[in-house]
Amino acid sequence: MTERADRADRSTVERDPEAVSRFVEHFAAQLVEAGVPRMPARVFAALLASDSGTLTSAELGERLRISPAAVSGAVRYLAQVHMVSREREPGSRRERYRVHGDQWYEALTSRETVIKRWEHALREGVDSLGAATPAGRRLAETLAFFEFVDTEIAEMMNRWRAHRERLFGTQGTH
């Protein structure tokens, strides 16, 4: 861990670095089981476990004992699925990577776009195959499922925002 990152993460509580490392690896393993690639899962877990929620490529590489190329690929993936963002350090060419308190919201919202595209494709499939055919009925049921999920996610996220506001106020967990 770099001295700067170490100071930032110890500013509030003294931690056992081995326990933090075990958490990062354990949570990353859970993400991998859910389908997240291994290196992005490790980088995300490390960012999540840092008090500041931001780390540089060098800090991530040092904490996780991985190469700059591995960090770069992991961050690229995480940025594409809206789980982290990139920020420039003022007066520097170095980037910091940030995990936000609303990363789950962002990740679900990006999935919502994918679901909409699937719905469109499924509608075309139902029209092409015919709603009365076995394949058309199967596609229509799949379409109905995704329409249901889409509505439920939107309603759930509204409930989450209200719940989050009650728990954490307007600042959330940024």
Please state, rounded to an integer, the average pLDDT across all residues of the chain.
86
Same domain, 59 and 130: no
- What global pTM score does this model have? 0.70
CA distance 128 to 151: 25
CB atoms near residue 103 (< 10 Å): 21
Q: What CATH number corresponds to the domain at position 51?
A: 1.10.10.10
> Pairing relation of β-strands 95-98 and 54-56?
antiparallel
The answer to whether residues 148 and 90 belong to one domain is no
Whole-number Å distance between alpha carbons of 67 and 69: 5
Per-residue pLDDT, 171 = 58
Share of the chain above pLDDT 90, in %: 56
The per-residue pLDDT for 23 is: 96
Question: pLDDT tens digits for 42-99?
Answer: 999 999 999 999 999 999 999 999 999 999 999 999 998 888 999 987 788 888 999 9
Question: Residue 78's pLDDT is what?
Answer: 92
Tell me which H or E stretch contains 85: strand 85-88
174 in a structural domain: no
Q: At what angle do helices 57-64 and 38-48 cross, to 10 degrees?
A: 110
Query: Residue 87 forms beta bridges with which residues?
Result: 96
Buried b or exposed e, range 42-67, using 16+ CB within 10 angstroms = bbbbbbbbbeebbbbbebbbebbebe
| Residues in CB range of 115: below 8 A, 6 or more apart | 146, 149, 150, 153
The whole-number pLDDT of residue 82 equals 82
Q: How far apart, in whole angstroms, are the C-alpha atoms of residue 102 and residue 48?
A: 12
Q: Which two tokens stand for residue 119?
A: 């719905």
Task: Give domain status of residue 173, yes or no.
Answer: no
Domain containing residue 64: 3-98
* 7/92 same-domain check: yes
Same domain membership, residue 149 and residue 113: yes
Mean pLDDT within 97-120: 80
Cβ-proximal residues to 157 (8 Å cutoff; 6+ apart), any chain: 105, 108, 109
| Residue range 139-168: mean pLDDT, rounded | 91
For the cut 70, the answer to whether the pLDDT of residue 22 exceeds it is yes
Task: Give how far the C-alpha of residue 173 lies from the chain's centroid of Cα atoms, to the nearest Å.
Answer: 14
Say yes or no: 92 and 135 in one domain: no
